[in-house]
Amino acid sequence: MVEDIELRYDPAAIEPKWQQQWAANPALYAAEPASCGKPKYYVLEMLPYPSGQLHMGHVRNYSIGDALARHMWMRGYNVLHPMGWDAFGLPAENAALKNHTPPREWTQSNIAAMKRQMLRLGLGYDWATEVTTCLPEYYRWNQWFFLRMYEKGLVYRKKSKVNWCPECATVLANEQVVDGCCWRHETTLVEQRDLVQWFFRITAYAQELLDGLEKLDGWPEKVRTMQRNWIGRSEGTEVDFFLEEQGTEKTRIRVFTTRVDTIFGATSVQLAPQHELVTRFTAADPKLKTQVDELIEQQKKAREAGDLGAIEKHGVSTGHFAVNPYNGQRVPIWVANYILADYGTGAIMSVPAHDERDFEFATKYGLDIVQVIKPVLKSEGVELPFCSEEGVLVNSGEYDGLSCEAAQKRLQEIAVRGTFGEPKVTFRLKDWGVSRQRYWGTPIPMIHCERDGLVQVPDEQLPVMLPERIEITQQGGSPLSRVPDFVNVACPKCGGPAKRETDTMDTFVDSSWYFYRYTDANNNKVPFDSAVARYWFPIDQYIGGVEHAILHLIYSRFWTKVMRDLGLIDNDEPARRLFTQGMVIKDGAKMSKSKGNAVSPDEMVGRYGADAARMYSLFAAPPDRDLDWQEDGVAGVSRFLARVWRLVTKYAPVARAARGQQMEAPTGEALKQLRKLHQTIAKITLDFEGRWHFNTCVAAIMELVNTMQAADAQLAAGEIPAPVVHELLRSLVLLLAPFAPHLAAELWEQLGETEPILRAVWPVSDPELAREDELEIPVQINGKLVTVVRVAIDAAPKAIEAAALADEKVQSRTAGKTVAKVIVVPGKLVNLVVK
């Protein structure tokens, strides 16, 4: 009976024991200084927002990163594996409004709760480098970066149409508008408002952000494609049409086109309804104003519905004319609902013969259609619109006969010479609007003085502290503007009365550079020591959700380039490799509180243990695919861990006694066991090096344990030499360590080891031992697979042929027939031609 109790796997006893030991020895998971001489490895999981509760998506994300970190430690690397909190943001303000808890207290108690959950999962983080973005020790550096960027012209202020979420009562970045709605409020339509806003000039890096994607071959192709599309580069020409009007002052209407070679086919100029010239026309024409307002309304509705690309095209003629600068031809000016004010110049030339959209519009409104490009070979009967660039110009005066490409170049040169246009590369990417009319964010370190205008807060006055305990209301505008103590300040330049900026920064600022701070988290002189960051960067492996592909992952690439240009770092990109894990779903939908299908990590840990929950989240699906959560599966992994526990515990005394003993050349069952072991080592090592199919790694460990258990009789009878038993159990426990760290640590101790398993050396596969001495060869009859035969790995073709012919299935199928020919491909295949 005593034995039974001893053999029971009890994660509720094992796990807290090891968690306490780990907490008492923080050096275990701590990064070492560069002087340690080991190669470095920086593994990073995206930092969570402190909502107060980890969800299974987190558990999956962190289980992947933790397995990798542990593996790299055991491979002898100096590993940096940090964790922190993306702690500014709206939910804290909403909670304050609802529960009258100050955002800071709410946030900090959530952090404490989630940290406790992380410790309960046994995640091996270096807590000495913990970063909490809502603390002044961190956000002062947001302010410092803001000022450096301001000095470099990378920060500016302008009045602009902004996306306004009435629910958030704040501005959203373009990236935060999803299908016309707020990214946080999926059913709240985003409004357009005019506000003076602060911007980061991310477009200054548009080309570099695009070019850099080519070198990021350790990033998923889908992420690179999403970023490429988001940056949206198009090459073309800006050309000025001229407004036909009285007087000498010529009003220019600048249009952007990718096909200036078709300009002689332009039969109208089309303006966005918000274009300033349209405003001028409508001021003098009430009827036109009504029509334009309607177009604006249609555009707004389409934007809200999220299908601007599919908007039903409407337009209205202004009655005014524009003059083509190349040939003086006059064309009507229209206003159209599908022209966007914030894309290109908000004006286009319409060439119906060579553009699908223009063709549709011209057909609908009866505008002229003039062909100016013809295919190179075919001259008659071309169906319009003809949109290919493989053609030559016609109906284009002196340019007739030029190829499209040559004409584009020539017409650009003429525009430059005539000062009515130039080659132009445009990007879909817009500057990053960072102003938020929120309380719970980084105060923008600028001061408005009536005498001096905009004045920077001097560095020695940083951080500009967020005032504590202010009343949160949701009446719109910046909450900080209602705190006189905060607002009123002496101008740093003239000493006179001045006012602080009351907007705070977008929280994506916080996550744009947090991973640099991890390398030197307690520095109070600079954001981080450059030498330390140079040692650790780039991040070797970044792991997170694909939903961050265009927000966080573009902003942080931008921030890295800015820091490089400030001389703080050498790397161009933050992360060498990026891995985006799949979602955790249950009952066919993404797990979420609102859908009522969320599974609590605490509950799983309570029922099955942290090791089982973690191992299941790696085992249930390849990490890049969605994982369909099944509690049965967690229970299954838990039963497997109990089997490992029984097996190792049972034979640990044998293994322990054999520590340090030399292993003789193995034969028979011992050799079979070692072969399986070394095949498993090779497979798991290879997976960690690149393929990352941890689900098959866990399956391989299960197979290995099955093989060992099948030899239980031999093990019990002492037929397998003790040094082999030692090698088998020791390696099994090492292989388990990245996936089930508590159980591995406990069994490691049982095997008589005193050093932490994390400091043990990852096992190396011996190719000689791993090599199979037999091989399975498929046997075909007339090209159809019939059976497989086992032969010695170095069997001669004659022996393979004999084995195939001796096979029962082969004999029954060839009975009474003639084997006309036997083809043997050694090591691969036998094919019998039978008549």
Region binding Zn ion by CB under 5 A among candidate stretches 225-233, 397-405, 491-499, 698-706: 491-499
Q: How far is the CB of 186 from Zn ion (least distance, A)?
A: 9
Structure-token match 């697979």, residue found: 785
d(C-alpha 596, C-alpha 570), whole Å: 47
Residue 518 contacts residue 131 (beta carbons within 8 Å): yes
Region binding Zn ion by CB under 5 A among candidate stretches 22-30, 168-176, 418-426, 684-692: 168-176
Residue 330 contacts residue 245 (beta carbons within 8 Å): no
Of the residues 167, 529, 628, 766, which one makes contact with Zn ion according to CB under 5 A = 167
Residue 139 contacts residue 463 (beta carbons within 8 Å): yes
Region binding Zn ion by CB under 5 A among candidate stretches 25-33, 227-235, 448-456, 765-773: 448-456
Of the residues 494, 792, 806, 820, which one makes contact with Zn ion according to CB under 5 A = 494
* Minimum CB distance to Zn ion smaller for 195 or for 491: 491
* Minimum CB distance to Zn ion smaller for 98 or for 809: 98
Of the residues 59, 121, 168, 349, which one makes contact with Zn ion according to CB under 5 A = 168
* Minimum CB distance to Zn ion smaller for 491 or for 802: 491
CB environment 440-464: b (16+ within 10 A), e (fewer): bbbbbbbbbbeeeeebbbeeeebbb
d(C-alpha 437, C-alpha 198), whole Å: 11
Residue 228 makes contact with Zn ion by CB under 5 A: no
Of the residues 130, 304, 452, 687, which one makes contact with Zn ion according to CB under 5 A = 452
String of DSSP letters for 435-458: EE--SSSPBP-EEEETTTEEEEPP
* Minimum CB distance to Zn ion smaller for 592 or for 597: 592
- Measured over the CA atoms of residue 808, residue 813, residue 817 and residue 821, the dihedral's sign is negative
Q: How far is the CB of 187 from Zn ion (least distance, A)?
A: 10
β-pairing verdict for 177-178 and 181-182: antiparallel
Q: How far is the CB of 464 from Zn ion (least distance, A)?
A: 17
Name the β-bridge partners of 575. Answer: 539
String of DSSP letters for 382-433: PPSP---SSEEE-SSGGGTT-BHHHHHHHHHHHHHHTTSEEEEEEES---EE
Q: How far is the CB of 185 from Zn ion (least distance, A)?
A: 4
Q: How far is the CB of 491 from Zn ion (least distance, A)?
A: 3
Q: How far is the CB of 168 from Zn ion (least distance, A)?
A: 3
Of the residues 64, 87, 111, 182, which one makes contact with Zn ion according to CB under 5 A = 182
Q: How far is the CB of 546 from Zn ion (least distance, A)?
A: 22
Q: How far is the CB of 471 from Zn ion (least distance, A)?
A: 21
Structure-token match 């990109």, residue found: 573
SS3 for 131-184 is EECCCHHHHHHHHHHHHHHHHCCCEEEEEEEEEEECCCCEEECHHHEECCEECC
Residue 185 makes contact with Zn ion by CB under 5 A: yes
Region binding Zn ion by CB under 5 A among candidate stretches 449-457, 573-581, 713-721, 783-791: 449-457
String of DSSP letters for 667-729: -HHHHHHHHHHHHHHHHHHHIIIII--HHHHHHHHHHHHHHHHHTHHHHHTT-S-HHHHHHHH
* Minimum CB distance to Zn ion smaller for 202 or for 449: 449
Q: How far is the CB of 182 from Zn ion (least distance, A)?
A: 3
Of the residues 104, 184, 430, 448, which one makes contact with Zn ion according to CB under 5 A = 184
* Minimum CB distance to Zn ion smaller for 447 or for 705: 447
d(C-alpha 435, C-alpha 172), whole Å: 9
Residue 451 makes contact with Zn ion by CB under 5 A: yes
Site residues for Zn ion, window 514-553 (CB under 5 A)? none
Residue 165 makes contact with Zn ion by CB under 5 A: yes
d(C-alpha 597, C-alpha 611), whole Å: 22
Name the β-bridge partners of 819. Answer: 834
Residue 448 makes contact with Zn ion by CB under 5 A: no
Q: Of 211, 342, 324, 205, whose CA–CA distance to 269 is shortest?
A: 324
Region binding Zn ion by CB under 5 A among candidate stretches 37-45, 165-173, 685-693, 715-723: 165-173
CB environment 637-657: b (16+ within 10 A), e (fewer): bbebbbebbebbbbbbebbbe
d(C-alpha 271, C-alpha 252), whole Å: 13
d(C-alpha 672, C-alpha 343), whole Å: 68
What is the contact mask toward Zn ion in residues 118 to 157, using x (rule: CB under 5 A)? ----------------------------------------
Region binding Zn ion by CB under 5 A among candidate stretches 451-459, 522-530, 631-639, 647-655: 451-459
Region binding Zn ion by CB under 5 A among candidate stretches 43-51, 445-453, 560-568, 686-694: 445-453
What is the contact mask toward Zn ion in residues 399 to 438, using x (rule: CB under 5 A)? ----------------------------------------
d(C-alpha 605, C-alpha 620), whole Å: 17
* Minimum CB distance to Zn ion smaller for 179 or for 603: 179
* Minimum CB distance to Zn ion smaller for 164 or for 739: 164
Size of the site for Zn ion (CB under 5 A): 12
The DSSP H or E segment spanning 375 is strand 373-375
Q: Of 577, 276, 259, whose CA–CA distance to 424 is shortest?
A: 259
Of the residues 72, 260, 449, 697, which one makes contact with Zn ion according to CB under 5 A = 449
HSE value, Cβ hemisphere, 13 Å, CA-based, for 582: 18
Name the β-bridge partners of 178. Answer: 181
Q: How far is the CB of 587 from Zn ion (least distance, A)?
A: 28
* Minimum CB distance to Zn ion smaller for 187 or for 812: 187
Residue 725 contacts residue 690 (beta carbons within 8 Å): no
Region binding Zn ion by CB under 5 A among candidate stretches 117-125, 163-171, 582-590, 687-695: 163-171
- Measured over the CA atoms of residue 744, residue 748, residue 750 and residue 755, the dihedral's sign is negative
Of the residues 491, 702, 710, 788, which one makes contact with Zn ion according to CB under 5 A = 491
Q: Which two tokens stand for residue 768?
A: 């000689």
Q: How far is the CB of 307 from Zn ion (least distance, A)?
A: 20
Q: How far is the CB of 740 from Zn ion (least distance, A)?
A: 41
* Minimum CB distance to Zn ion smaller for 418 or for 477: 477
Residues of this chain that bind Zn ion (CB under 5 A): 165, 167-168, 182, 184-185, 449, 451-452, 491, 493-494
